[in-house]
Structure 1
Amino acid sequence: MWIEKNGPVYRIRDLVRGKKVTIQTGYPTKTSAKNAMVQFRAEQLQGNALMPRGGQITLADFVGEWWPSYEKTLKPTAVNSEGNRIRNHLLPILGHLTLDELDGQVTQQWVNDLEAGVGPWPESTRGRRKPLAAKTISNCHGLLHTICGAAIAAKRIRLNPCSSTMLPRREPKEMKFLSDPEIGRLITALPPHWRPLVMLLVATGLRWGEAIGLRAGRVDLLAARPRLTVVEQLQELASTGELVFQSPKTAKGRRTVSFTTKVALLLTPLIAGKKSDEVVFTAPKGGMVRTRNFRRIWVKACEEAGLPGLRIHDLRHTHAAILISAGRPLSAISRRLGHSSIAVTDLLYGHLREEVDEGILAAIEEAMAGVRAEDLEAELDEELTDVLADAA
């Protein structure tokens, strides 16, 4: 490593794989360049030195190097979604910039542009950029944060330009919890073919993909308490429409869930005669259940039942609400729903426990309405007297 003059400034040079490479340039004096070289050598000894000119690679080129290894760690649906984010929202806007040019101001402007629907679209499409939802922006930002983290690990940059970005506020979607009459109206409004599927969703709290991907061999109708085992879910890739089975998001997603005899009777004719690897629920004319096809039937049934805007996932919320109203502990509910931790369950449904507690307190207050304080004191004195007499 040495110092040499380069026009009006000085630069640090070194041999990398037999080639002369500029480590840093732009130093006004030879002394400042030497001081920088000493610091760079110290960082090399500590293992903190950056790759020479490593930050001068464009984001597009670095993603091209990084993606093949990262892709292997993803499930098929994540490959599809993450790949779309890179192609549609990262590279068209930021891909031409070098890693050195990415800083907090650039990433903040990128987020603002995504929120406003500003910026170029992939050249391969004729699409026009539209404002993105806060959740989508958060996902895109998280992906860029991961990419820049990989660049730090590769010693190309020192700091993550995404670390201080302010993201748009995410407004949580309102949960809907069906009452017993509403559940009845919904089931009645559905075509008979789909009633067992919806009944199972309400009775077990399964996720949609877990239910339509349920195989006959995973259901035990002869157990003392009928039950099913969740080990996979069926997902439909948005880009290709391909149906893929994949494991649950977390280890806690693999679980056994019991259900009522009434639901077991509905499932019996659907399972009879099927091989263990065949799915329980199929389309009316056979074949796998397609979410987009079912959604048309779902929307119509919800409107007929007086439940417009109800989401399929609200059946899972309804199941949780039923258990909480029955006083079941959150730990048991968390295991049944397959949440990664009880903290997730509490975050989603903890507010319902307050309503249950209010009902309990109201019931206790009503039961004690005729009890006078002086009567309680007299009874307490009598109890204490008996205790002391027994002790003597």
Structure 2
Amino acid sequence: MWVEKNGPAWRIRDLINGKKVTLESGYPTKTAAKARMTALRADKMRGEFIDPRDGKLLLGEWIDIWWPTYEAGLKPTAQISEGRRARRHVQQVLGHLALDEVDNLAIQRWIAYLLAGDPAAGRRKLAPKSVRNCHGVLHTILGAAVVARKMRSNPCSETRLPQAPHHEMRFLSEPEIGRLLGAVPEHWRPLVVLLVSTGLRWGEAIALRPQDIDVLGGKLTVVRAMHELSSTGAIVFTEPKTERSRRTVTFPQRPVGEVLAGPVATRARGELVFRSPRGSEVRTRNFRRGWIKWVSVAGLDGLRIHDLRHTHAALLISAGVPLTAIQRRLGHSSIAVTSDLYGHLLPVVDEGIMAAVTAALSAVELELVEAEVADEVGIAA
């Protein structure tokens, strides 16, 4: 590595694969060029050297190079959703920038652009949650560039993201659960009973087969999830969401075992337990159309299917079940996820604990205890 005159300025050169190449140029003085060369040599010795020429690689070109390998490891549904974000919202908007031009300012402008939309380019405004998802894809793309030593650091790490709106969880009371089940048609009632009594995710529940359910033993095994691809409408089955999502979940014989017995008994071992009235797979969109009507009849407008999972967790917490047990039952990846979602409900449990402690202590003759303590202090004195 050396410096040499290049017209009115100075540049840094190196010998790579037997060829002389320019690493950087445009330094006004030889001293400035040498100072930069010293820094580059130090980076080489520490194993942190990044060829400045790699920074000239366009972001769009890097995505074309790296994305196919990354995409191959994604689940089918993620391939569609993340692939769409990578192509439409990252590559089409930022792809013309070189990697060394994708800095924090460029990313903040990109976020503002996605939030505002661009009618002239056929781009509608994106919701804050959608922008955060797009930013997550960009973070992954640039993180891979850092690992490949195309960039020194990931500028996404210090981005200010729009605040996603907070959706309040809804927890049904026992009377509300009864009203809901009364409004749901008989054909769908076993599925709704299962959701509220086990806390299964929607895709986990509709993917169940008779071989996954032990009705007499009161347990089921989650080994897969069913999804409907938005692009083609095809039904696909994937591994559970996380490693901990592969689990065994127990359920009471009454009423869960009783309502499941019928659907399980009428299906072959490898068939789907839950099907539409016409016998086809459960299509989420079709089910939602009915769901909106049923919750309205039950006086529970706005209730989401996923709120049944939240309701199940709330029932467990109110019964004093530890968060670790709830984490395993719901298949969360870590206790932190469970705590973040439901930790705010714990004060309700604490109130019950304090009531129990108060009741226990009230039975103790505190005056007698105080007298005994006084006697011991007198003896010690």
Instruction: Choose from 232, 237, 244 the match for 1:240.
Output: 232
Shift of 1:79: 1.1
2-structure distance, mates of 1:98, 1:119: 26
Residue equivalent to 1:336: 329
120 and 337 in structure 1: CA distance in 2 versus 1, 3 angstrom threshold: farther
Q: Distance in 1 between matches of 2:331 and 2:117?
A: 36
Contact (CA 8 Å) 2:216, 2:257: kept in 1 or not? no
Counterparts in 2 of 1:215 and 1:96: CA distance versus 1, 3 Å: same
Give the one of 119, 124, 127 matched to 1:130.
124
1:153 aligns with 2:147: yes
Contact 2:187–2:277 (CA under 8 A) maintained in structure 1: yes
CA contact (8 A) 1:12 1:25 kept: yes
CA distance in 2, matches of 1:37, 1:378: 82
- Name the counterpart of 1:202: 196
153-162 vs 354-363, greater mean Cα deviation: 354-363
**Residues 164/384 of structure 1: CA separation in 2 closer, same or farther (3 Å cut):** closer
Separation in structure 1 between the aligned mates of residue 245 and residue 176 of structure 2, nearest angstrom: 28
TM-score (norm 2): 0.90
**Distance (whole Å) between structure 1 residues aligned to residue 38 and residue 172 of structure 2:** 69
Aligned mate of 1:249, from 241, 254, 276: 241
Equivalents in 2 of 1:235, 1:176: separation in Å? 24
Matched-pair contact (CA < 8 Å) for 1:92–1:120: no
Q: Distance in 2 between matches of 1:346 and 1:73?
A: 29
CA apart distance, 1:185: 1.2
Match status 1:218 vs 2:207: no
Give distance in 2, aligned partners of 1:99 and 1:213. 43
Q: For each residue in 1:197-237, what CA deviation from the matched residue of structure 2 results, as whole angstroms up to 9, or x when unmatched?
A: 000001100000000011210101122xx100011111122
Aligned position for 1:287: 280
Question: Which structure 2 residues correspond to residues 44-55 of structure 1 after superposition, within 5 A?
Answer: 44-55=44-55
Amino acid at match of 2:170: K
TM-score, length basis structure 1 = 0.88
Superposition RMSD in Å: 2.6
The share of aligned pairs that are identical, in percent, is 56
Which residue in 1 is equivalent to 2:67?
67
1:113 pairs with 2:102? no
**1:117 offset after TM fit, Å?**
2.3
1:125-152 C-alpha deviation (Å, 9 max, x unpaired):
xxx3233222222221122112112112
Do the aligned partners of 1:21 and 1:52 also contact (CA within 8 Å) in 2?
Answer: no
Deviation at 1:271, TM superposition (A): 1.4
Alignment partners' CA distance in 2, 1:383 and 1:3: 89
Q: CA deviation at 1:21?
A: 2.6
**1:3-41 deviation per Cα after TM superposition (whole angstroms, max 9, x unaligned):** 343332122233434544321010112343233334323
Gaps of 5+ in 1: 122-127, 386-392
Q: How many residues align?
A: 374
- Is contact 1:250-1:340 (8 Å) kept? yes
- Going from structure 1 to structure 2, the CA distance change for 1:383 and 1:259 (only over 3 Å counts) comes to farther
The residue type paired with residue 208 of structure 2 is L
Specify the alignment match of 1:390 in structure 2.
Answer: none
Equivalence for 1:104: 104
Given that residues 205 and 316 in structure 1 are in contact (C-alpha distance below 8 angstroms), is that contact kept between their aligned partners in structure 2? yes
Query: Of 180, 188, 198, which residue of structure 1 is paired with 2:182?
Result: 188
Tell me, yes or no, if the aligned pair for 1:93 and 1:120 is still in contact at 8 Å: no
The letter for the 1-side match of 2:222 is V
Matched with 2:3 is 3
